[in-house]
């Protein structure tokens, strides 16, 4: 039996349902997204910010580069990297349904340089996967009970540039009597605990429910300690989604 699924069939399949992201298909149509596109702004803002940092870091050399997109969901950013010309993109997500959806979108867009696999960021064998020029860790660490572990995995996977995007909490600073008034240590940042234990069925949520959300100061300090030589909070564009505009979420670039 011959495989008779055409590009038009794949696009029709994609258009027949609602997605987390508004994917622009080769036939000019855009996939319907959640709540009539209510969340599209956050995706477009993050795409713009990612584009800007890739442009200034690698302009014109993407065809020699590889990337890994941790928590790739339906592949919005993986597709963006492939469309920018990255030679190889590996998307990984804990949820099998996202891997299936990302595969459909990849095929509908004809982006054969994207590979997809199911995996939990805490279980990834970074040594076996090797290093990627660019590592994306977008919209994930604030859903995790071990965000530092995930950042360590991301560091191990990164050859040149890690981009982290996350919700952040207000920072706490000050000195702590650490065992005794004679041993005083400065706080380097904070984590806030968010309860997602009733939401683990949600497609965008944590898989375990206990979530540690960093402050910006905590994230920057940890990235420095993990060995990144330069760490920058990326500037939001003028028309940024409100959370990013007001610093409730940040995108941070960390160069090896």
Ligand X SMILES: C[S@@+](CC[C@H](N)C(=O)[O-])C[C@H]1O[C@@H](n2cnc3c(N)ncnc32)[C@H](O)[C@@H]1O
Q: Is 48 in the site for ligand X (CB under 6 A)?
A: no
- Which letter, b or e, does each residue of 125-145 get, where b requires 16 or more Cβ atoms within 10 Å of its Cβ? eeeebeebbbbbbbbbbbbbb
Question: Would you say 236 and 245 are in contact if contact means Cβ atoms under 8 Å apart?
Answer: yes
Q: Which stretch binds ligand X (CB under 6 A): 9-17, 91-99, 209-217, 233-241?
A: 91-99
- Crossing angle for the helix pair 7-15 and 96-109, nearest 10 degrees? 130
Q: Is 249 in the site for ligand X (CB under 6 A)?
A: no
Residue 5, phi-psi category: left (phi > 0), alpha (psi -120 to 50), beta (remainder)? beta
Residues 6+ apart with CB under 8 A from 92: 68, 69, 70, 71, 72, 116, 117, 118, 119, 121, 124
Least spacing, CB of residue 206 vs ligand X, in Å: 6
Looking at 54, 65, 89, 121, which residue binds ligand X (CB under 6 A)?
A: 121
Determine the straight-line distance between the first and last CA of the chain, rounded to whole angstroms: 50
How many whole angstroms from its chain centre is CA 181? 41
Question: Which string of x and - marks every residue 185-204 that binds ligand X (by CB under 6 A)?
Answer: -------------------x
Looking at 13, 88, 122, 159, which residue binds ligand X (CB under 6 A)?
A: 122
Question: Which string of x and - marks every residue 129-168 that binds ligand X (by CB under 6 A)?
Answer: ---------xxx--xx------------------------
Taking CB atoms, the residue at the shortest distance from ligand X is: 139
Looking at 71, 220, 223, 252, which residue binds ligand X (CB under 6 A)?
A: 71
- How far apart CA 122 and CA 202 sit, in angstroms, is 19
Which of residues 10 and 164 has its CB atom nearest to ligand X in the complex?
A: 164
Which of residues 14 and 244 has its CB atom nearest to ligand X in the complex?
A: 244
Q: Is 93 in the site for ligand X (CB under 6 A)?
A: yes
The angle subtended at Cα 222 by Cα 219 and Cα 226, nearest 5°, is: 135
Looking at 207, 226, 243, 256, which residue binds ligand X (CB under 6 A)?
A: 207
Q: Which residues bind ligand X (CB under 6 A)?
A: 71, 73, 76, 93-95, 98, 120-122, 138-140, 143-144, 204, 206-207
């Amino acid at each position: 039996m011959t495989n008779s699924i055409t590009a038009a069939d794949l696009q029709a399949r994609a258009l027949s349902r609602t997605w987390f992201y508004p994917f622009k298909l080769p036939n000019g149509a855009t996939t319907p997204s959640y709540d009539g596109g209510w969340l599209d702004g956050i995706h477009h803002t993050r795409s713009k910010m990612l584009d800007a940092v890739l442009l200034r870091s690698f302009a014109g050399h993407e065809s020699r580069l590889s990337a890994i997109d941790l928590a790739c969901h339906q592949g919005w950013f993986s597709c963006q990297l492939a469309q920018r010309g990255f030679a190889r993109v590996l998307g990984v997500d804990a949820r099998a349904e996202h891997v299936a959806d990302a595969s459909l979108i990849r095929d509908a867009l004809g982006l054969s340089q994207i590979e997809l696999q199911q995996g939990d960021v805490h279980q990834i064998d970074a040594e076996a996967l090797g290093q990627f020029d660019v590592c994306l860790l977008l919209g994930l660490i604030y859903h995790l009970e071990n965000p530092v572990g995930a950042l360590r995995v991301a560091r191990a996977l990164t050859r040149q540039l890690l981009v982290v995007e996350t919700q952040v909490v207000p920072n706490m600073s000050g000195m702590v009597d650490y065992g005794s008034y004679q041993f005083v240590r400065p706080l380097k940042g904070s984590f806030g605990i968010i309860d997602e234990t009733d939401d683990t069925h949600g497609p965008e949520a944590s898989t375990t429910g206990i979530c540690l959300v960093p402050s910006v100061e905590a994230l920057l300090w940890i990235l420095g300690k993990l060995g990144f030589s330069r760490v920058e909070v990326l500037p939001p564009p003028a028309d940024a989604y409100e959370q990013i505009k007001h610093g409730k979420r940040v995108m941070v670039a960390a160069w090896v």
